[in-house]
Amino acid sequence: MHGEGLAERRQLSSPEVGLSLHAREVAELLEFERVEDAILVGHSYGGMVITGAAALAPERVGQVVYADAFAPVTGESAFTMLPWLEPAFAESPGPAEWEVAPLDPAMLGADDDGVAWLSGRLTPMPRFTHEEPLGPGSEDVLAERAVTYIYCADQALFTDIAASAEKRGFRVVALSEVTHVGLLTNPQTLERELLKLV
């Protein structure tokens, strides 16, 4: 799961769609499909979602992987974790007052080919996704699971979050020549790291 909009589900967007709804959807999918020992992988905002989902369906989760993503603790939101993010979204408002428009892919480290690939895929998302704080329960779950933080060091958008992850005892993998969106535009790098976990 990543944080570049709601993609094919954008028609379900509304002011009430937030982090808790997304976390519940992932947890319910794991339950409905009877998934066991899942490896939850979240990119960017997706890190918020997988953290919440792990708290809601701990018996279904074996590992958690943050791919240059938010790795929150109870009470944190995307906006509180990266204070520059809210003003950045404010500079390019979404179609509705309760939405945020996607950030410029070039600002997130995309080259020309990456910008072209991403531009047709990025969609607005409800502001509440970034405003709503993480609910309780994830800290205990993560303390009992293998947790990996993949940090894209070329751009350093998530430097403080990666440092916090290391302090929390997460395994941190630094990718020195990969940008934040490089994990999407060149997925082989992420694939290589994920295959090491299986």
Residues tagged active-site: 44
Angular region, 137: left φ>0, alpha ψ -120 to 50, beta rest: left
In the block, tokens 């939101």 appear at: 77
User: Quick check: 105 and 115 in contact, CB under 8 A?
Assistant: yes
Burial of 35 (0-12, 13-18, 19+ CB in 10 A): middle
Instruction: List the Cα angle 73/74/77 in 5-degree steps.
Output: 80
State whether residue 95 is helix, strand or coil: coil
β-pair type (146-152, 171-175): parallel
